[in-house]
Amino acid sequence: MSGAKVIALLVTGLLVGVMGTSVMMSAWQQRGVLPKGTMALMESHLTKARRAASGEACDLDRARHHLQRIDALSTDAIDIFTALGTDNFPIEQRAFARVVTQAIDANDCTALGTGIKMVADACDACHHNNHGSP
């Protein structure tokens, strides 16, 4: 084998190694980014729903919009958390979804306020059952 071929082989080996490492790194990062990103979005919608429901300017439709986003995100989260091996997630999500649906169905601002408070408690309940989460 000529010197040039040996060098070409070495460079190829190095490149494959680097590529393999970066694929692994991105898989690792996704492991963290996807669940955390989903939860961060749910938190942001909860804050906005609270804001829409509070005070005299209570806006039922606006709050409902954010609660519906929470509903959709927590449904998406089933696949994400199942892939991560959070075994009880689908079961706990079902209970959570019922509470979210109740809040969405609220037909006045008092019921909406209570509903949103129950959603926040339901977030905490699932976190409590999944140790190490906030």
Applying CB under 6 A, the residues found at the interface with ligand HEC are: 35-36, 39-40, 42-43, 46, 70, 74, 81, 86, 89, 92-93, 96, 119, 123, 126-127, 130, 133-134
Closest by CA position to 34, among listed 46, 24, 42: 42
Residue showing tokens 């959070």: 86
**Is 113 buried (19+), middle (13-18) or exposed (0-12) by CB count in 10 A?**
middle
In the chain, the amino acid numbered 78 is: I
> Which CB sits closer to ligand HEC, 19 or 121?
121
Q: Residue 5 CA to chain centroid, in angstroms? A: 49
- Decide whether 80 or 109 has the Cβ nearer to ligand HEC: 80
Q: Which is nearer to ligand HEC, 74 or 106 (CB)?
A: 74
Q: Are 49 and 73 in contact (CB under 8 A)?
A: no
- CB of 102 vs ligand HEC, minimal distance in Å: 14
- Token pair in block for residue 131: 């140790």
Question: What minimum distance in Å lies between the beta carbon of 108 and ligand HEC?
Answer: 22
- Closer CB to ligand HEC, residue 44 or residue 111? 44
